[in-house]
């Protein structure tokens, strides 16, 4: 059986959570006797092929600068034929898409369906449903994910800076104004209701073309159900940790101080909540022996103003240390070298994988009481849950754990068995084999 794992970004250009997931999934499937090839776009004029850690990779070209009709999905990206011709040549059995971007979106799924492949889509991010991209209604509380154009348009407009009252009035403008979305700046604002309606149509079009739709967490599974997707197509396949656990005891023995060491590992992005963490940590009393180690990735693509503000704020506290990014295979050593991982996400995560990676080396987690984090972290058993945007609550949680080593030991003992990407791959292999045995679709 031959599987195409398709994603909008991939190594060595980027190394986010989806890339880690796809890479580990492909390698574990190969170990199970299933042939995999990864396909991803590349901003270049020519296609390219290479092998990444034993997995064949095809990079198909997309334009360096996309035009509005391509970004809005009205037209396929230029050179789309390069992808479609390659896909036709592969004689694959299943096409599994992990992204929803201009370079890997509805046009690509439609091409796979047209060519007769069995199709699977994994929804990795809240942005696949939510215009705001966070699944926080009006930026405050977790949303049920149901796409209601007027409600979603108002929420999205508020995220763009419109006052609540104005946003709610503009969101009532009729869908017939959809053509205004092509106008610069003001167009998308006036056409917000139409854009939300189109997102709902795109979701249902994706669902119609996908033979199976995979959700990596419970809240996303339920959000898809709330949007009327066929339950028989939906699969809950939770994420897993994808590497061999290092010797955590040795790593912990290398600590050079008795200070309680908190750690942060995540992207330079406001939704990851680094600004909340830094502000909360600074409020810890000076006589509390604590350290905060920050390993932030993706600096090149992060908002410069945000990075400067966080670094400037952190510079006022000598207990905060920024360290260089580490190769993913060494993440376990980093996580084993801290006492607790802090995950202050300001959106609904579908994982994150870093929580599982911390658990895999026996490190408890203090995390936002939102989405996938609250599905993985059990308050008082393997970590602590905190209201996501309450700085004082974050300070209190860190102070409590730093002062109570008995609690720390209890949380470590409460972690239990951790799901692995081998488990994820075994479950996906069952899905692929089930599809493989069903009657083929006409090309």
Contact between 339 and 248 under an 8 Å Cβ cutoff? The reply is: no
Confidence band, pLDDT 50/70/90 cuts, at residue 174? confident
Residue among 367, 373, 371 nearest 394 (CA): 367
Question: What does 153-185 look like in DSSP terms, one character per residue?
Answer: HHHHHHHTT--HHHHHHHTTS-GGGGGGGGSST
- pLDDT of res. 297: 83
What is the 3 state secondary structure string of 119-155? EEEECCCHHHCCCCCCCEECCCEECCCCCCHHHHHHH
Angle at Cα 161 formed by Cα 159 and Cα 165, nearest 5°? Answer: 95
Distance between CA atoms of 352 and 357, rounded to whole angstroms? 9
- SS3 assignment, position 277: helix
Domain segments of the chain: what residues? 2-129+198-240+422-437, 248-418
- pLDDT of res. 250: 43
Which residue shows structure tokens 């971007």? Answer: 101
2-129+198-240+422-437 CATH, one of 3.40.140.10, 3.40.50.300, 3.40.50.2000, 3.40.50.670 = 3.40.50.2000
Contact between 73 and 102 under an 8 Å Cβ cutoff? The reply is: yes
Q: Across the strands, what pairs with 120?
A: 96, 212
Distance between CA atoms of 12 and 55, rounded to whole angstroms? 13
Q: Is the CATH code 3.40.630.30 the one for domain 248-418?
A: no
Residue 179 pLDDT exceeds 80 = no
Distance between CA atoms of 389 and 397, rounded to whole angstroms? 13
- pLDDT of res. 443: 36
Residue 251 pLDDT exceeds 50 = no
Tell me the per-residue pLDDT of 320-350, one tens digit each, with 9 for 90 and over.
999 988 887 789 999 999 999 999 999 999 9
Q: Which residues have a Cβ under 8 Å from the Cβ of 128 and sit 6 or more positions away? A: 100, 203
Between 322 and 245, whose confidence is greater? 322
Distance between CA atoms of 404 and 395, rounded to whole angstroms? 14
Residue 121 pLDDT exceeds 50 = yes
What is the 3 state secondary structure string of 60-97? EEECCCCCHHHHCCCCCCCCHHHHHHHHHHHCCCEEEE
The HSE-up count of residue 218 (CA atoms within 13 Å, CB side) is 7
- pLDDT of res. 128: 86
Distance between CA atoms of 250 and 289, rounded to whole angstroms? 22
Confidence band, pLDDT 50/70/90 cuts, at residue 180? confident
Residue 181 pLDDT exceeds 70 = no
Residue 439 pLDDT exceeds 70 = no
Q: Please provide residue 60's backbone torsions phi and psi, each rounded to the nearest 5 degrees.
A: -95, 150
Domains 2-129+198-240+422-437 and 248-418 belong to one CATH topology: yes
Residue 246 pLDDT exceeds 50 = no
pTM of the complete model:
0.91
Burial classification of residue 316, based on how many CB atoms lie within 10 Å of its CB (0-12 exposed, 13-18 middle, 19 or more buried): exposed
Residue 377 pLDDT exceeds 70 = yes
Work out the number of other CB atoms within 10 angstroms of the CB of residue 113: 18
Residue 442 pLDDT exceeds 70 = no
- Indicate the pairing of strand 340-343 with strand 260-267: parallel
- SS3 assignment, position 29: helix
Tell me the per-residue pLDDT of 186-225, one tens digit each, with 9 for 90 and over.
888 888 999 999 999 999 999 999 999 999 999 999 999 9
Burial classification of residue 227, based on how many CB atoms lie within 10 Å of its CB (0-12 exposed, 13-18 middle, 19 or more buried): middle
Contact between 107 and 76 under an 8 Å Cβ cutoff? The reply is: yes
């Amino acid at each position: 059986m031959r599987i195409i794992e398709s994603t909008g970004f991939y190594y060595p250009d980027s190394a986010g959570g989806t890339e880690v997931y796809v890479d580990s999934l492909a390698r574990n499937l190969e170990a199970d006797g299933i042939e995999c090839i990864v396909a991803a776009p590349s901003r270049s004029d020519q296609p390219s092929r290479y092998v990444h850690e034993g997995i064949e990779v095809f990079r198909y070209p997309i334009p360096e600068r996309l035009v509005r009709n391509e970004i809005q999905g009205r037209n396929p990206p230029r050179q789309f034929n390069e992808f479609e011709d390659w896909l036709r040549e592969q004689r694959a059995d299943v096409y599994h898409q992990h992204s929803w971007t201009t370079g890997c979106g509805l046009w690509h799924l439609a091409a796979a369906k047209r060519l007769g492949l069995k199709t699977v889509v994994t929804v990795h991010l809240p942005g696949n449903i939510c215009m705001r991209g966070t699944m926080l209604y009006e930026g405050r509380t977790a949303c049920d994910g149901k796409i209601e154009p007027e409600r979603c348009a108002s929420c999205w407009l508020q995220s763009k800076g419109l006052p609540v009252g104005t946003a709610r009035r503009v969101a009532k403008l009729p869908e017939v104004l959809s053509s205004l979305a092509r106008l610069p700046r003001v167009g998308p604002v006036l056409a917000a209701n139409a854009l939300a309606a189109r997102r709902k149509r795109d979701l249902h079009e994706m669902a119609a073309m996908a033979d199976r739709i995979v959700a990596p967490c419970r809240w996303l599974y339920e959000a898809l159900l709330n949007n009327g997707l066929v339950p028989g197509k939906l699969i809950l396949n939770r994420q897993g940790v994808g590497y061999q656990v290092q010797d955590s005891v040795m790593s912990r023995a290398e600590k050079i101080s008795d200070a309680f060491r908190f750690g942060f590992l995540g992207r330079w992005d406001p939704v990851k909540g680094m600004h909340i963490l830094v502000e909360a940590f600074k409020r810890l009393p000076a006589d509390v022996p604590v350290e905060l180690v920050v390993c932030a990735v993706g600096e090149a693509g992060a908002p410069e103003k945000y990075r400067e503000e966080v670094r400037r704020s952190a510079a006022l506290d000598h207990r905060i240390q920024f360290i260089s990014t580490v190769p993913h295979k060494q993440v376990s050593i980093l996580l084993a070298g801290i006492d607790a991982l802090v995950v202050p996400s300001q959106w609904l995560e579908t994982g994150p994988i870093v929580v599982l990676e911390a658990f895999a080396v026996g490190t408890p987690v203090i995390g936002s009481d939102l989405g996938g984090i609250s599905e993985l972290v059990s308050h008082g058993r393997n970590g602590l849950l905190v209201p996501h945007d309450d700085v004082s609550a974050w300070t209190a949680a860190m102070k409590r754990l730093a002062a109570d080593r008995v609690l720390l030991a209890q949380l470590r003992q409460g972690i239990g068995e951790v799901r692995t990407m081998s488990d994820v791959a075994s479950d996906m292999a069952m899905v692929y084999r089930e599809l493989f045995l069903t009657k083929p679709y006409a090309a």
